Chain A
């Protein structure tokens, strides 16, 4: 693709969007939901993602339905009702620059743009060359006019193409903090940046704990995304929770084998475990991952690859003070969340087992999912799922 070719594709998508000015959100939501149902059974999708993402086929079979499930028709209509009315004109087109860490980020991106009434140019990361194009194909099968507003693109390194993309009236950028900052500096329009963030668990042993569900929260996407927990604060018997998580991760690995790790990833795990062992932490480790029980309550991310730190907490009310500011995106918990999480930057709170199953309305980075595409938002939003 050339810069001229990309500009032409964007212009065509804008024209297609203009032709849909009278389109009702209900019609778009229905088409998106139908497309999601087709997309998730596309045999080329899983094949392509196994190759490019490195995730095990069983993992993809587990997570792709969760992505498709985000495009529930009624939930989309409720989102439009809540965030998408009486807000003026959407951006003519939105550029989405997606991170490579987890596959299929393109699907909610496309859906949100379609609901916002904006053409979408979606640049996928190098580990997912297929899901955006596959979703556009699925959408074209059910609603060609809406599919024409979507331009899936991918290129490894091309400054000229990046310049065209970053000239969007609205650019949504996801990735490492440094990447987002570098791209944001080059963008000419409004920017919504989503940098490095993590998930965390809060477990209270006085309430029932579903260890299998917690293990799933840790293991899905091989802990590569911002919803994946890296720390588990425990009110009560932390040693028992560490053992419970280790057992559950071991069992889960039989059903969802870990992705093959690169030498860099294996070296990172080695360093993580060495540090834990010499620090005197309790370590459960194996080919299934690792659970490290520390004596202090302070958050530090792990190296990923299904590794988690179990940290003691005297009282769940003490948790907010332990959260580094704007670092924890999502908290999964088995008890009512303490007050003060929103002020620390937490964007989403959900029951254990649902961390990797965000709704389309997930206010990523505390911004309204749809509303932030339509207007500047100032208030920090936190979604609580029950």
Chain B
């Protein structure tokens, strides 16, 4: 069995209730795999004197900055898909490019995380996405992930961003229909899209089990809205309680995502645990000092560096341009994006489309 297939099997087994063990072992095998197959990464590591022979722990594996995805080909083989960051300035060169050599591994990882954190009750939901359909944005990793979610967990799927941006009248109509018939709904999209819906004055009470998944934070938002304000608005405008509102943190350069643990915690009887962005066990994040790239003290702010085993087909360790801190052992809190970093992300996806 190939390494990709073995990893996919391990992820699927975790999703079905098994354990995911030996992160270190997987990380070292993945590094060797990428060192051998991704020439640009190999050259980068060799310049630093790092080879599979010198790496003894997952924390020794060299991270590439997201800038690398803007300038280098980081693919371990033939790309089955290519996703691009959604920066809108600086032209095509400013957009990161993540070639995916193992699409089924990406799918398994994305769905396992989503199911664990957003649909831990295995609910079947009508999926309403404030995003363009895959045909319009085939290079968006978020759109692709939502398409997979719709296929596997949805009773039906609708997309509400078209040629003229977010189609609020149609979305309002559909939400009113679902509110009337009581069927549970997953409403997902950029946080900025939700703010537009709230600002439109829309209000309904969606059926029990309905939930929200938002992503992108303040990017592209028409006005500032705190997390608490967002949760309050979800209750006021959609009738969805806070514990059914899950924030997602993802990057085009990663095949795995973090989610707020609130719903998974509630179902596991840990309702009092703090909201935090938690990852599936094959994604770990370190918080690093920007100068030394050493880990900062617990709770201190630094650059978020993600080690995503599901990135097997490119590079697993990605130094993001996001600042944040570790929280409560297994979680992180994102504080914002480095000033001057190219605009990107899900909020930009909406902003690029909404005039």
Decide yes or no whether B101 CB sits under 8 A from chain A: no
Minimum Cβ distance to chain B for residue A258 (Å): 12
A263 to B339, CA, bound (A): 11
Task: Output the nearest chain B residue to A263 by Cβ-Cβ distance.
Answer: B301
Decide yes or no whether A186 CB sits under 8 A from chain B: no
Of A75-83, A148-156, A272-280, which binds chain B?
Answer: A272-280
For A303, what are the chain B residues with a Cβ–Cβ distance below 8 Å? 339-340
Minimum Cβ distance to chain A for residue B333 (Å): 14
Decide yes or no whether B295 CB sits under 8 A from chain A: no
Task: Output the nearest chain B residue to A270 by Cβ-Cβ distance.
Answer: B290
For B290, what are the chain A residues with a Cβ–Cβ distance below 8 Å? 263, 266-267, 269-270
Decide yes or no whether B3 CB sits under 8 A from chain A: no
For B70, what are the chain A residues with a Cβ–Cβ distance below 8 Å? 275, 278-279
A266 with B291: CB separation less than 8 A: yes
Please give 18 more A-B residue pairs, beta carbons under 8 A apart, in addition to A267-B338, A268-B338.
Answer: A263-B289, A263-B290, A263-B323, A266-B291, A267-B323, A268-B339, A268-B340, A270-B65, A271-B67, A274-B68, A275-B67, A275-B71, A277-B67, A279-B70, A280-B71, A300-B90, A301-B340, A302-B340
- Whether A264 contacts B323 in the complex (CB less than 8 A), given A271-B67, A301-B340, comes out as yes
B67 with A279: CB separation less than 8 A: yes
For B323, what are the chain A residues with a Cβ–Cβ distance below 8 Å? 263-264, 267
Task: Output the nearest chain B residue to A301 by Cβ-Cβ distance.
Answer: B340
Minimum Cβ distance to chain B for residue A96 (Å): 26
A303 to B337, CA, bound (A): 13
Choose among B71, B291, B301 the residue that contacts A270 (Cβ–Cβ < 8 A). Answer: B291
Minimum Cβ distance to chain B for residue A109 (Å): 26
A269 to B67, CA, bound (A): 13
Minimum Cβ distance to chain A for residue B287 (Å): 10
Choose among A272, A279, A302 the residue that contacts B71 (Cβ–Cβ < 8 A). Answer: A279
A274 with B301: CB separation less than 8 A: no
A280 to B71, CA, bound (A): 9
A274 to B323, CA, bound (A): 16
**Contacts from B to A (Cβ < 8 Å):** 65, 67-68, 70-72, 90, 289-291, 301-303, 319, 321, 323, 336, 338-341
Task: Output the nearest chain A residue to B72 by Cβ-Cβ distance.
Answer: A278
Task: Output the nearest chain B residue to A303 by Cβ-Cβ distance.
Answer: B340
Main secondary structure of the interface of A (DSSP, over half): helix
A142 to B303, CA, bound (A): 52
A315 to B234, CA, bound (A): 58
Please count how many residues in chain A sit with their CB below 8 Å of the partner chain's CB atoms: 20
A194 to B336, CA, bound (A): 27
Within 8 A of B (CB), among A274-294: 274-275, 277-280
- Whether A271 contacts B291 in the complex (CB less than 8 A), given A264-B338, A278-B71, comes out as no
Cross-chain pairs A/B with CB under 8 angstroms, 25 sampled: A263-B289, A263-B302, A264-B339, A266-B291, A267-B302, A267-B303, A267-B321, A267-B323, A268-B338, A270-B65, A270-B291, A270-B303, A271-B65, A271-B340, A274-B67, A274-B319, A275-B71, A277-B67, A278-B65, A279-B67, A279-B70, A300-B90, A301-B340, A303-B339, A303-B340
Q: Which of B65, B70, B289 has the most CB of A within 10 A?
A: B65
Task: Output the nearest chain A residue to B40 by Cβ-Cβ distance.
Answer: A278
Closest 8 pairs (CB-CB, A-B) = A274-B65, A275-B67, A266-B290, A267-B290, A278-B71, A270-B290, A274-B67, A303-B340
B321 with A271: CB separation less than 8 A: yes
Q: Give a binary string over A83-99; 1 marks a CB under 8 Å from any B CB, 0 the rest.
A: 00000000000000000
Choose among A263, A268, A277, A280 the residue that contacts B341 (Cβ–Cβ < 8 A). Answer: A268
For B67, what are the chain A residues with a Cβ–Cβ distance below 8 Å? 271, 274-275, 277-279
A272 to B303, CA, bound (A): 14
B338 with A271: CB separation less than 8 A: yes
A269 to B292, CA, bound (A): 12
For A263, what are the chain B residues with a Cβ–Cβ distance below 8 Å? 289-290, 301-302, 323
